[in-house]
Amino acid sequence: MEKRSTALVIKSTGSWYALRDVRSGRPLAGRIRGSLRLRGSRSTNPVVVGDRVEYETTDDGTAAIVGVCPRSNYIIRRSPNLSKESHIIAANVDQAFLVVSLYRPATNNEFIDRFLVTAEAYRVPATLVLNKCDLYVTDELREIRASFLHAYSLAGYEVLETSAERGDGVEALKARLTGKVSLLSGNSGVGKSSLIRAVDPSLDVRTGEVSASSRRGKHTTTFSEMYPLEEGGYLIDTPGIKGFGLIDIADDEACRYFPDLLRHASGCAYYNCTHTHEPSCAVKEAVAQGLIAPSRYESYLKLLEDDKKYRK
């Protein structure tokens, strides 16, 4: 029997995969061996970025992928061709970061909360990166910053404050990324590229390439790529999208993905309370008492509404 080794999938281009041997770190080009069948998989791509795969070395020195190791999680997006099939963006993601800004541009709350909901749904720990902290110096912006920090501390999310411009918080972010597979997202203009550059200057060029090609390639399937960090770990760059994957949420389940709402929900009179119109709702009570940020509750209501529209 041939010797089998394990490799990490760094990049997928459809039929070829860029791999790294887990033990030696050696880069390899791999293809799926024809006999590889994934039981019960309805996704268009059976091997994805972040997967650990088993391979055998072939005579020409390339790797034949013969198996995929069980995934700790995976992020799905609906296929671009509108079929029922899904497209997996990445597997085995350790953590997700959303870069946000409160000024020029101000990131929309709903956008932030959508991202966090997706992270909860996929059980990927999420952290917010509040960039451009050098700008929040006027009374008005200080106030906005304080209420932002308050809202997410009530919700139980960590917020890292950074300034890519001045370097504040860059070391802290770098420390958090080292040795992990991290998904990084952010709406346009918040300084995501500047931050990546500050964390690891060697990533600069390649990051520019990926954002340019994913924007141009609207009608083609875009393939993900993981970018190795100088000091270990990988970044998965995702374009500015609402949330980062596909989720279907029933009304009486939506609350599950808002830890701050969920904490109070057991006090509601009705066990299936949707925290909208019901009497004796502990969630609405908590909002009134300032224990849940109004913006978070609004995002929750918005999520219920959007979901209804979507299902019609």
Ligand X SMILES: Nc1nc2c(ncn2[C@@H]2O[C@H](COP(=O)(O)OP(=O)(O)OP(=O)(O)O)[C@@H](O)[C@H]2O)c(=O)[nH]1
- Name the site residues for ligand X (rule: CB under 6 A): 131-132, 134-135, 163-165, 186, 188-194, 211
Helices 204-216 and 192-199: crossing angle in degrees, nearest 10, is 150
- Cα–Cα distances (Å) from 270 to 16, 256, 276, 282, 306, in that order, read 53, 16, 12, 10, 23
Binders in 241-280 for Zn ion, by CB under 5 A: 268, 273, 275
Near Zn ion in 223-242, by CB under 5 A: none
| Closest CB to ligand X among residues 36, 241 | 241
For residue 298, the minimal CB distance to Zn ion (Å) is: 15
Asked whether the bond before 105 is cis by omega within 30 degrees of 0, the reply is yes
Q: Are strands 27-32 and 63-68 parallel, antiparallel or unpaired?
A: parallel
277 labelled ligand-binding: no
Between 163 and 295, CB nearer to ligand X: 163
Measured distance CA(268)–CA(108) in Å, rounded: 29
What is the nearest approach in angstroms of Zn ion to the Cβ of residue 109? 21
Site for Zn ion contains 286 (CB under 5 A):
no
Residue 193 CA, distance from chain mean position: 16
Per-residue contact flags (x/-) with Zn ion for residues 63 to 92, judged by CB under 5 A: ------------------------------
Residue closer to Zn ion by CB (options 97, 257) is 257
Judged by CB under 5 A, does residue 210 bind Zn ion?
A: no
Contact in structure between 173 and 182 (CB atoms under 8 Å):
no
Residue 252, CA atoms < 13 Å, CB-side half-sphere: 7
| Single-letter code of the amino acid located at 182 | S
- How far is residue 133's CA from residue 150's CA, in Å, rounded to a whole number? 16
When binding is defined by CB under 5 A, the residue of 281, 286, 292, 293 that contacts Zn ion is 281
Kindly list the residues in this chain that would bind Zn ion in the complex (CB under 5 A): 268, 273, 275, 281, 283
- Binding residue positions: 131-134, 186-194, 268, 273, 275, 281
